[in-house]
Structure formats: C-alpha cells, structure tokens
Amino acid sequence: MAFFTHQAARHLSSSAVRQVLIKQVMIIGGGQMGAGIAQVAAATGHTVTLVDTSQDILNKALKGMEGSLKRVAKKKFADKPEAGAEFVQGVMGKVSTSTDAAAAAQTSDLVLEAIVENLKVKQDLFGGLDKVAPAHTIFASNTSSLPISDIASATSRLDRFGGLHFFNPVPVMKLVEVIGTSATSQDTFDSLLNFSKALGKTPVSCKDTPGFIVNRLLVPYMMEAIRLHERGHGSKEDIDIAMKLGAGYPMGPFELLDYVGLDTAKFIMDGWSAMAPDNPLFGQSEMLNKLVAEGKYGKKTGEGFYKYK
C-alpha cells in the first residue's frame, strides 16, 4: 500500500507539471548574474521576484538594473526619450524584491538560483523551498560547475529540477544552456527550453556532465594555455595573439582568464579534479594556484596574468 501511494503521488506530481507556462519567476541572488536574469525576464513580460538575504543588496541590484535599462532605452528610443522612460518604468514595474525566499516561492512557476557555487548552500536552499513551493513549481540552478543532480538530490522533485546556465552579461549574451538530469521529466525540460526562448535567448540542450558544453570545452582550453606557458613553449602574449589571429577568438586565453577571474577558474578545476582525479584535462596548475594564493584574480583585483590600472 505504501508503495502504491508513493507511486501514485509521484505520478500526480509529475502530471501537474505538464508544459508549465512560466510567468511568475523567483530569482535567488541579487548579484550580477541574478540581476541580469531578472532584468531579461522582466523585459520579456515575466513577473519577477528577486530574492536575497539583504535589502541593501537588492536595492543595489535594482539600481544596476535601472541603469542597464536606461542604456538600452537610450539606443532603442533614441528619438523618443519619453517612450524610453516609459519602457524603463514598465520593466522595473515587473520586478519586486524580497528577503523571504519561502514566501516568494509559494507563488512562483520557476525558482532559479544564482548564488554562491557551494553545493551544501544550494542543497540547503532548495531542500527548504521544496517543502513550501507548489507542486507544479520547477526548480533550476544557474551553476556553471556543480552537478545539477547533486543539487536536486536535496529535494523530492527530481523530475521538476533542471539547470539554466546563463552567460555574463546576461542582457547581452544570447546563449542559455538547458540541462536535464536522468530524472528530469520531458515536460520540465520542454518548459525550461520554452522559457529560455521566451527570454529571447537561444537555448542548447545539455546533459548533466561537468561544465556542460561551453565550460567543459573552454576551461580545459584555458588550462592547456597555462600549461603551454608553464612549459616555456610560448609567452602569454604570443599565445593570446595566436589564438585571436589564428583562431579568430575575440580574446586570448590569458585575457579571458583574467576577465572570468582566476579564482573562478581554480574553483572549477578544484571541483572537477575532485570528481575525476585521473582525468588529465582536470589537472592542477602550479602557476594558477600561485596567482590565486597571492590574491591576483585578474581584472577585478587589478592583476592576474596581466596588470590593470
């Protein structure tokens, strides 16, 4: 009887998801990524609740969003400043803020987190929200390096959990990686694909593998550039120039590492090394580790592989 009840409950909860039209969106994390996602969602007609632990953080996020929208309006309504102001006001009117994640989750079709890359923090967050969110609500993570299945394991809605990996800056970058685990239902996956398209983005389908598609190819490429330099086979300047002029990349690997953040690159590699220590693609770099230990993270600290004024 217990087995039948469990199976019936699972069937009912799965059926409730059928092609959820995502209109009410809760975004957790008022940093650059969270605010960017909130801006794009609101600009495409979605009702957004942006959540963080501090109202000061949320106020800063709102100010940043408004500034970004004003720049968009200046280009889009160059000859119609009043229409531009109306556009900004309309989008901002779609965004509310809250420091109460549990309350906000109760009216959301989608709960999307863009918080610190810490598995336990994400699991604790979703584990708590799983108890209060409606049955139809889809959960998603914007993680760039952690397995979606590991985050989802803290909840009872494995079939309603997926990944939505946006790229920075969100209002500009067109790609969204939509990640499904082995337990993600097709209805949930399709809802996430359709939501991404509704945002005006181009979604690609990904399996729940380390780094998904972009970072799985990009991070080992950047790490191999460091190893090439460590072996004395090329200066960082020559390697950057070679990849820009020879491969047509907008930035060389060292320029890109400084832009992304050396601490971020090391964090990703540390996680992947722990998951697959025998994979040579995930090997450590003494040069990268040394720079991070010295607090030289790239552009955000004024020095990484290059120095910035």
Using the predicted structure, report yes or no on whether residue 175 has a pLDDT greater than 90: yes
Say which of 108, 144, 185, 191 is annotated catalytic. Answer: 144
Q: What's the mean pLDDT in 230-244? A: 97
Highest mean pLDDT pick, 20-24, 162-166, 268-272: 162-166
pLDDT at 81: 87
Q: What's the mean pLDDT in 249-253? A: 97
Q: Specify the DSSP class assigned to residue 209.
A: -
Query: Can you tell me whether residue 196 is helix, strand or coil?
Result: helix
Rounded to the nearest integer, the mean pLDDT of the chain is: 93
Helix (H) / strand (E) containing 203: strand 202-207
**Does 74 count as an annotated binding residue?**
no
- Does 118 participate in catalysis according to the annotation? no
- Does 165 participate in catalysis according to the annotation? yes
**Does 30 count as an annotated binding residue?**
yes
Question: What's the token pair of residue 35?
Answer: 């605010």
Using the predicted structure, report yes or no on whether residue 14 has a pLDDT greater than 90: no
Say which of 141, 145, 177, 185 is annotated catalytic. Answer: 177
d(CA 150, CA 154): 8
pLDDT at 18: 66
Confidence of residue 267 (pLDDT cuts 50, 70, 90): very high
- Does 215 participate in catalysis according to the annotation? yes
Share of the chain above pLDDT 90, in %: 88
Confidence of residue 309 (pLDDT cuts 50, 70, 90): confident
Using the predicted structure, report yes or no on whether residue 86 has a pLDDT greater than 60: yes
Nearest CA-CA partner of 151 in 182, 119, 179: 119
**Does 84 count as an annotated binding residue?**
no
Per-residue pLDDT reduced to its tens digit, 194-233: 999 999 999 999 999 989 999 999 999 999 999 999 999 9
Looking at the DSSP bridge assignments, the partners of residue 207 are 180
d(CA 178, CA 23): 18
Per-residue pLDDT reduced to its tens digit, 25-65: 999 999 999 999 999 999 999 999 999 999 999 999 999 99
d(CA 105, CA 24): 10
Lowest mean pLDDT among 74-88, 149-163, 211-225: 74-88
Helix (H) / strand (E) containing 51: strand 47-51
pTM for this entry? 0.88
Q: How far is CA 272 from the centre of its chain?
A: 18
